[in-house]
Structure 1
Amino acid sequence: MKLILTREQLDADVTIGSLTVDGAWCAWVCEDTVRPPGQKVYGKTAIPYGTYRIDITMSARFKRPLPLLLNVPMFEGIRIHPGNTAADTEGCLLPGLQRWPKGVGESRKAFDALYVQLVAAKARGESITIDIVGADL
């Protein structure tokens, strides 16, 4: 399964992108601010552009299994989970069905639909990856 997150809105306080799953639109995604390569402000920086494998593992913070992006440079514990604004994330990806000027809406619905697809792909033994692409700084 291949997810592609295309970053479309790169503001000083939030990043909004469009997520596809195997070529079909799935959700908007809210993230922290994109910064130049190698620059990181803890809890306020989007993960670097690139391709990452995804696994579903137990989250100690959320006390439930959640998608985890693996081997993200300079980051640990990057997950996909519900949330609406950059204040709800510390580098994680927050899916939503509505695009707001500074966030996303209907996040739980978007997350639940995506999670079902990810769990099914994992059950089939598929590799799951996400490509994070978009406008450069």
Structure 2
Amino acid sequence: MNIEHIRSFCGDKYTISHIYVDGKYFCDAIEDKDRGLTSDMTEAQIRNIKVYAQTAIPYGKYNVTIDIVSPKMSQKAVYNPIRAKLPRLLNVKGFDGILVHIGTTEKSSAGCIIVGKNTIKGRVTDSNKTFFALYALMQKARAKNESIIWNITKKK
């Protein structure tokens, strides 16, 4: 499964992206501010630029797992149907525990990716529905032993 995450708007506090699953538009996302980090930077370079809980993760390609329980999200009943096993991007330099999850603004993010529909400036809506639809696709990919790759790029 290939997920293309194309950042299309970079504001002062948040970033809006379009998400494509296997080449087909699926949803939008909101993240923290894009500070121009890339996966080919060193850990030290990233940590020098990063502002904790206010920085989008580096551009790059990441493997995704849906097999790890999020201790923080396990406290939220909305994730009970999936036993708090949220999609987690692996090996993100300078960041720990980067998840794809439900929310509305960059304040819900702390570096994570919030999926939904960008119908209101600076927000996403329909996040619950969007998240669980994306999660179902990821489960199907895993059931077929497909890897899940999340590729973050910038609109050209």
Normalising by structure 2, we get a TM-score of 0.84
Q: Name whichever structure is richer in strand by fraction.
A: 1
Report the RMSD for the aligned CA atoms in angstroms.
1.2
Q: Report what 2:43 is aligned to.
A: none
Distance 1:97 1:11 in 2: 17
Q: Higher Cα Rg: structure 1 or 2? A: 2
Instruction: Name stretches of at least 5 consecutive residues in structure 1 with no aligned partner.
Output: none
Cα deviation for residue 123 of structure 1 reads 1.4
Are 2:29 and 2:118, in contact at CA under 8 Å, matched by a contact in 1? Answer: no
Q: Name whichever structure is richer in helix by fraction.
A: 2
Q: Report what 1:42 is aligned to.
A: 52
Are 1:95 and 1:104, in contact at CA under 8 Å, matched by a contact in 2? Answer: yes
- Residue correspondences, number: 136
Given the alignment, which residue of 70, 79, 83 partners 1:59?
Answer: 70
Report 1:1-137 matches (<5 A).
Answer: 1-37=1-37, 38=46, 39-56=49-66, 57-63=68-74, 64-135=84-155
Percent identity reads 37
Distance 2:118 2:133 in 1: 14
Distance 1:124 1:101 in 2: 38
Cα deviation for residue 85 of structure 1 reads 0.1
Moved over 4 A (4+): none
Normalising by structure 1, we get a TM-score of 0.95
